[in-house]
A and B are shown apart, each in its own frame.
Chain A
Amino acid sequence: MVAITFVAVDGLEQRIDATDGLSLMENAVAGGIDAIEAICGGNAYCGTCRVHVDPAWRAVTGEITEIEEPMIEASGDTDPGVRLSCQITVTPELEGLLVRTPASQS
């Protein structure tokens, strides 16, 4: 289990015990993080699973991948830490990861 914290816009913090090997999105949905809508089920084609990765963690989670670009661009979300959580695979290196969820996913 990998401990990951989601922080909502109102400051509410929720910690989940994520499963190694699944995506951050799948773990968030299973862990009851309502701000992760994920309406395309993890296919990088809805942009409703966006997270803003804390600056301290960006080197570990990595840059936006090519497949994420179109939907992130279409969402108009310009946060420097924005990623689609369905394209981040949870690994033990993410122990302690902190991400924020946007005010709206649409």
Chain B
Amino acid sequence: MEFHRNHIISMKDFTRDEIDYILDRAGKLESLARSGRSDILSGKILALLFYEPSTRTRMSFETAMLRLGGNVLNLGSKDASSVIKGETLADTIRVISTYSDAIVLRHTSEGAAQMAMEFSSVPIINGGDGAGHHPTQTLLDLYTIKRESSLEHPDVAIVGDLKYGRTVHSLTYALSLYGANITFVSPQQLKMPDQIIGDLKARGAHVNETENLDQVLNNIDVLYMTRIQKERFPDPTEYNKVANAYKITNKQLAHVRQNMIIMHPLPRINEIDSSIDNTAHARYFQQSFYGVPIRMALLTIVMGTDI
């Protein structure tokens, strides 16, 4: 398959074939992602433009670019807020795109990457926009499932804040392309929005909802945990109650499927007890690493380089 894409904005822009292409390319780059340096993107400059801090996303893009032999212009959140103060994002993008061969943008407003694309002369990769998209996270999640479990009709439970969670909306969309059986596990007040459930069902996705984590735990291949943020709850007692109900400990894993994997976009608060870290189920640290080959794959694709 030929696949050219100048910008990486939203998961909804991708077909399943295109996602498979990206995952395959990440597979080819994985050993390089672990160590070494190539000259695939030598002479290329990647600008990292982060309007809000995200150490993990920023560092893995940086690592990806360095492993590919390219260079990085790093404009952290401090610089971004002081240097660019008062200037529109549109102007900043117009300027930075003359300094670089591609831009990774993380911004606080939803739709920022889509707008940046309109003003940029180089490829834009969305590193997360407000509560909106975070396509590289979704792609690394899919890659993790593919590598550590299977993307063929997996049974997946997604747990936690499904209402505001940045990552889960595009993840569920992408999983539906793979015929996943998805169970949403969340407290009533953090339920997946009806509109997204409706969209998923309209596309023929298999989705269920429950408030009870123990009910699904023994019948899944993938347990995808997310943070529940304190700020969502005006009442701290209510928060504690909910946070404890959606927390997982080693004890609950006694009867799960043998190959069940546990994922988390990190950082975690206390959703996953550290007693789980050394079990055969834990995959969240591998998941974090897989951000590197996925971002390497995307960088080579947007810059039009064969590997």
- Whether chain B is bound by chain A comes out as no
Residues of A within 8 A of B (CB): none
